[in-house]
A = this chain, B = another copy of it.
Amino acid sequence: MLCLCGTLLRMSTAQGARARARTEVTAAIKDEARRQLAAEGAAKLSLRAVARELGMVSSALYRYFPSRDELLTALIIDAYDSLGEAAEAAYAKVRGESPARQWVVVCEAVREWGLARPHEYALIYGSPVPGYTAPSTTVPAAARVGLLLIGIVRDAHQDKGVAQWKLPAELRPEARRMAEDLAPDLPPAVVVVLIGVWAQLFGLVNFEVFGQFNRVVEDRETFFRHAAGQLAHHVGLVYPRSGATER
């Protein structure tokens, strides 16, 4: 036990030359893979090409990633983390401001991240590429943006309460379940709307990143800000200036 702890500690802090080289090569592989991903898309990402570009033979690459799909999942996790970081950074900049503004700013950060890296975005919010389901190792990284959005609503709720909708009876048990799992301190009705709005946000970003808005929406930034504001309104966050949109 203690011995194992010691080993782990030593490996993570003062790693030997070999271990360091390993992490460096691993990082180099992921970097080059990310470059190819950005250039050509996930479909054309090739292990051999990555190896070639790195000046090593393709079989050597399998010492670091047991398969192409494993490389891809590593990139997926990194992408989730990068997106989460971008969202959290945007959130940090508006910490003191109104919940609605925080919400819109985080949404815009997600959108901008996706527009800047369409292929990485496609990796995580497009169709799942490798097999069928993304391995469960991606779950924690994937949850970051969602948790951030929940946090914003939670703060607003603890502050002065959020407007909430009345749920139809058939949805109430499910709503209770979801609230218990995700945010026990929030009213079930809010959690239900939140989950829906979460998906809808990525619907908006998807359509823009994947070009479905081409020749439909022109001034997409303004449009998105408006839509994100409506989503905020929908989860009960109200703009201080009494609503940018109203009946």
Contact = CB atoms under 8 A, between A and B. Distances in A.
Specify the main secondary structure of chain A where it touches its partner. Answer: helix
Contact of A216 (B167, B178, B206, B219): B178
Given A127-B210, A132-B41, A211-B128, A245 B199 contact: no
Count of identical protomers in the assembly: 2
Interface residues of A, number: 62
Nearest to A128: B210
Interface string A40-70: 0111000000000000000000000000000
Interface stretch (A7-15, A90-98, A190-198): A190-198
A218 interface: yes
A223 B196 contact: yes
Interface string A104-146: 0000000000000000001101111101111000000010000
Interface stretch (A17-25, A28-36, A152-160, A168-176): A168-176
B192 A226 contact: yes
Contacts of A210: 125, 127-128
Interface in A200-247: 200-204, 206-208, 210-214, 216-219, 222-223, 226-227, 230, 234, 244-247
A174 B41 contact: no
Nearest to A164: B247
Contacts of A166: 245-247
A182 interface: yes
Contacts of A216: 178, 181-182, 195
A163 interface: yes
A209 to B, nearest CB: 9
A2 to B, nearest CB: 36
9 contacts: A122-B128, A127-B127, A166-B245, A168-B226, A195-B216, A200-B201, A202-B207, A203-B206, A234-B234
